[in-house]
Structure 1
Amino acid sequence: MTNETFAVFLTDYGPGILIILVMVLLSGFFSGAETALTAASRARMHTLEANGDNRAGLVNRLIERRDRLVGALLIGNNLANILSSSVATSLFLHVYGASGVAYATLAMTVILVIFAEVLPKSWAISAPDRFALGVSHTVNLFVLVVGPLSSLVNWIVRRILALFGINLSSEMPMLSAHEELRSAVDLLHREGSVIKADRDRLGGVLDLGELEVSDIMIHRTSMRGINADDAPEAAVRAVLESPYTRMPVWRGSTDNIIGVVHAKDLLRALAEPDVEPENLDIVRIAQKPWFVPETTNLKEQLNAFLRRKMHFAIVVDEYGEVQGLVTLEDILEEIVGDISDEHDLEIQGVRQEADGSIVVDGSVPIRDLNRALDWTLPDEEATTVAGLVIHESKSIPEERQAFTFYGKRFIVMKRVKNRITRLRIRPAEDAPMPPPPVKGEGRE
């Protein structure tokens, strides 16, 4: 191509080529900005803003009106793509005639995909915070100009969706703050950035508001208490032999809790002059019991424990009947757990067999089993493993009956009256067929 021919080419097609280049660059800018601003860490932006970074404050304000932001960027992106494609089509038609449409479509598809979509979005997602800070001022200016048009588009979209019964609110997030945190922690755990123990602790904190006292309390059938009518030395012996520092005191029946005795108070009383176990008044040194409803969620109960500086409460139902007891330690264990190693089974009532199966007591909480073994058995309808089997089977199973659900095979090993006291659990695909049950039929 001679210099004269090249000069003619530039004169005829140069402006169009320049427009295409500028539009592709603008499209890439809008694509990268959208990716960076939607992927930027809001927590980091708030921290930077608190430290005086004005750009971070700008990013936060843009993200707060996400629908307006995304709408404006999409408008800019589409305008740039349409204009560049139109100019390219015009140029190719002038050079190649009718076949230029096909050539322009092919060429612009390749150019826009690589340089206006994949490249800028890959760059933005590799460092979203830094990219978002860099484009914040330009994007903010563009949103101020195009924002009203974006709001109009969003309004039209909402009206159209409303015709189909879909109500889209710009102020309602898709996920709650707790769900966003939980999803982020689970993702980081899968990527290896957060170990299982830390994931479980963070999950325990997030679950406090969703669990009730009845989900973690020590049931009344497992409570250890002191009969106020027993001989004083028997009460003293019961306290000293107990592994617990606090024990409820009852009179007449276990439903009539009249106090809570602390081991330290007992020892102080015994240390007083002329006080012997035979003449100790256990009721006199007992503290007043604190009764809480079984429907209280753990977040409220934890705050109540801290506010009242107490560690022990009696749980009652709506009729005032004693259902069990809950302690501050019970709630803290929901956060920190009681598993020292993620591969060892150290929770009470759980034993791993040589064949890989798990033998568990029926009273073991489902949440504890999930945390120990990284399982996902549901705990919405039942609190214990035995309760889950009863709920799923819709019956009180007999010994040696087997059930398969949630990818696990549950075999009832021992039943006392109407209570399932021991089960064997193994993966469903590895479970051999059990012997026929003594009575009834197992459910598959």
Structure 2
Amino acid sequence: MTLIALLPYIILIVFFISLSAIFSACETALTAASISRLHTLQKRGVKGAKLVISMRNKPEKLIGTILLCNSLTNIISASLATKIFMELFGDDGVIYASSVMTVLIVIYAEVMPKIYAISYAESVSVAVSPWIHRIVYLTSFLTYFFEKVARFSLKILGIKIDPNAKLTSTEEELRVAIDLHQTDDDVREEKAMLHSILDLDDVFVDEIMVHRSAVTMINARLPLNEILEQMVSSPFTRIPIFEDNVDNIIGVINAKGLLRAIQSHADALESFDIRHVCVKPYFIPETTTLYEQLQAFRERREHFALVVDEYGAFQGIVTLEDILEEIVGDITDEHDIKTPGIWTHKNGEIFATGATTIRDLNRHFNWTLPDEEASTIAGLLIYESRTIPKAGQTFSINNYQISVVRRVRNKLTLIKIIPSGLSQHS
């Protein structure tokens, strides 16, 4: 075969290798482009950014199409090269063709275009998006057919594939991005806040509520002067009102609303009935997540709810401030009662009240105490021991030495925690 006869084949090989390089660059750029930067480009009116985002929302179709086209171009170029080398060297040409084409495809159709594309991911992806989108549309039937055949083959082999599975998880990507950020003191709090926002859908209200034993409540049958005395002495502006027993909550009294009602009934305080001033109680199940409750507070324009269990028994209260504190930490004002729940001894030992939540301890000290089965440190000890521990008992949980310092009746009031690193040297 003369050089003139080989020239068309060589031109075609160069063309298909170049086409393969373009598809490789497209694959890398379209998958590596930052979604946040693409949204910024879209807001600036950059054409193509919206197309890239829409294709990224269906990654299976996008990647399937590019792989199909890339494989097709590589197969055609390899076949043409095999024909040339077999014409020149006979049967040994297959070995020569495989060797030469492997080097050419790896360097010029894979490595080189991918290096370029990953360096200019956003600009490349925006530039190629219009014609890649057309190719995805034109080959959608083929990619769908190949995907079905592949899934059927996996099914025959006994491999189960989730049909709704996605290639990426936005929440996981966010968590990884947050964790990869530098952990200096300036951003430690911001990282904790971002993680807390992502955790809102995994935490239930019963984990952060004020337990019924610590809730200030007023009996509706008390005389008005006693009710006023309790309202004035309480730091809270909203207090649940019960009748006969604490599980029979008939409403919630607002301090301002009570004062207005008293002012309007100044001439007939003897007949004043607090039941007429109460607002209807807002009950929620203890299995409500913080995210769901935050949305409910916004929709109802309320920030005070009563938590009940599956039997309708009153368990505690949760407020909008409680949920916000899960994100930003403690929020205090001049009326808050100071109730420190965590103390650090100079020797490194940690003391905490039994009601201190495990989430607060983990967030404060960057610990990994388990919080799946209990919300407070006292609850964790009770769960692990399957009984109510006595004062002086010590438990090892996740390499933390946790001791009961004080127990009042059936309530664990003070706990000592020795961190894992400190306990090994104790």
Range into which the TM-score falls when normalised by the shorter chain: 0.7 to 0.9
Instruction: Note the C-alpha offset of 1:272.
Output: 6.3
Separation (CA, whole Å) in 2 of partners of 1:382 and 1:61: 43
Which of 61, 67, 72 aligns to 1:68? It is 61
Which residues in structure 2 correspond to 1:33-432 (within 5 Å)?
Answer: 33-42=26-35, 45=38, 53-88=46-81, 105=98, 107-168=100-161, 172-174=165-167, 180-192=170-182, 195-268=187-260, 282-338=274-330, 348-432=340-424
Alignment CA distance shift 1:423-1:13 (3 Å): farther
Separation (CA, whole Å) in 2 of partners of 1:9 and 1:350: 88
Separation (CA, whole Å) in 1 of partners of 2:384 and 2:65: 51
Structure 1 residues without counterparts, runs of 5 or longer: 1-7, 341-345, 435-444
Contact 1:313 1:325 (C-alpha < 8 Å) held by counterparts: yes
Instruction: Note the C-alpha offset of 1:32.
Output: 1.7
Contact 1:377 1:406 (C-alpha < 8 Å) held by counterparts: yes
Task: Give the corresponding residue for 1:5.
Answer: none
Contact 1:247 1:261 (C-alpha < 8 Å) held by counterparts: yes
Separation (CA, whole Å) in 1 of partners of 2:280 and 2:137: 64
Give the 3-state SS of the residue equivalent to 1:210 in structure 2: coil
Instruction: Note the C-alpha offset of 1:433.
Output: 8.1
Contact 1:214 1:294 (C-alpha < 8 Å) held by counterparts: yes
Separation (CA, whole Å) in 1 of partners of 2:330 and 2:120: 38
Encode CA deviations 1:125-181: one digit per residue, 9 max, x unaligned: 333222211111232343344433322211110111222444546654356xxx513
Give the 3-state SS of the residue equivalent to 2:48 in structure 1: helix
Alignment CA distance shift 1:246-1:20 (3 Å): same
Give the 3-state SS of the residue equivalent to 1:114 in structure 2: helix
Structure 2 residues without counterparts, runs of 5 or longer: 333-337
Alignment CA distance shift 1:308-1:167 (3 Å): same
Task: Give the corresponding residue for 1:440.
Answer: none
Separation (CA, whole Å) in 2 of partners of 1:218 and 1:302: 16
Give the 3-state SS of the residue equivalent to 1:249 in structure 2: strand
Alignment CA distance shift 1:402-1:93 (3 Å): farther
Instruction: Note the C-alpha offset of 1:304.
Output: 3.2
Contact 1:186 1:199 (C-alpha < 8 Å) held by counterparts: no
CA RMSD of aligned residues (A): 3.8
Alignment CA distance shift 1:409-1:18 (3 Å): farther
Separation (CA, whole Å) in 1 of partners of 2:174 and 2:224: 56
Separation (CA, whole Å) in 1 of partners of 2:194 and 2:421: 32
Separation (CA, whole Å) in 2 of partners of 1:87 and 1:317: 73
Task: Give the corresponding residue for 1:31.
Answer: 24
Instruction: Note the C-alpha offset of 1:108.
Output: 4.2
Instruction: Note the C-alpha offset of 1:219.
Output: 0.9
Give the 3-state SS of the residue equivalent to 1:422 in structure 2: strand
Alignment CA distance shift 1:18-1:356 (3 Å): farther
Instruction: Note the C-alpha offset of 1:89.
Output: 5.5
Separation (CA, whole Å) in 2 of partners of 1:195 and 1:430: 26
Instruction: Note the C-alpha offset of 1:349.
Output: 1.1
Give the 3-state SS of the residue equivalent to 2:251 in structure 1: strand
Contact 1:365 1:385 (C-alpha < 8 Å) held by counterparts: yes
Instruction: Note the C-alpha offset of 1:425.
Output: 2.8
Contact 1:212 1:296 (C-alpha < 8 Å) held by counterparts: yes
Moved more, 307-316 or 156-165: 307-316
Alignment CA distance shift 1:109-1:358 (3 Å): farther
Task: Give the corresponding residue for 2:335.
Answer: none
Separation (CA, whole Å) in 2 of partners of 1:70 and 1:26: 16
Number of aligned pairs?
419
Moved more, 40-49 or 370-379: 40-49
Contact 1:189 1:195 (C-alpha < 8 Å) held by counterparts: no
Alignment CA distance shift 1:356-1:30 (3 Å): farther
Give the 3-state SS of the residue equivalent to 1:318 in structure 2: coil
Separation (CA, whole Å) in 1 of partners of 2:74 and 2:398: 49
Alignment CA distance shift 1:170-1:251 (3 Å): closer
Contact 2:348 2:422 (C-alpha < 8 Å) held by counterparts: no
Instruction: Note the C-alpha offset of 1:187.
Output: 1.6
Separation (CA, whole Å) in 1 of partners of 2:412 and 2:106: 62
Alignment CA distance shift 1:32-1:235 (3 Å): same
Q: Which amino acid is 2:295 matched to?
A: N
Alignment CA distance shift 1:153-1:306 (3 Å): closer
Separation (CA, whole Å) in 1 of partners of 2:399 and 2:2: 70
Contact 1:339 1:372 (C-alpha < 8 Å) held by counterparts: no
Q: Which amino acid is 2:215 matched to?
A: M
TM-score, normalised by the number of residues in structure 1: 0.78
Contact 2:325 2:331 (C-alpha < 8 Å) held by counterparts: no
Q: Which amino acid is 2:233 matched to?
A: E
Separation (CA, whole Å) in 2 of partners of 1:279 and 1:229: 13
TM-score, normalised by the number of residues in structure 2: 0.81
Alignment CA distance shift 1:148-1:230 (3 Å): closer
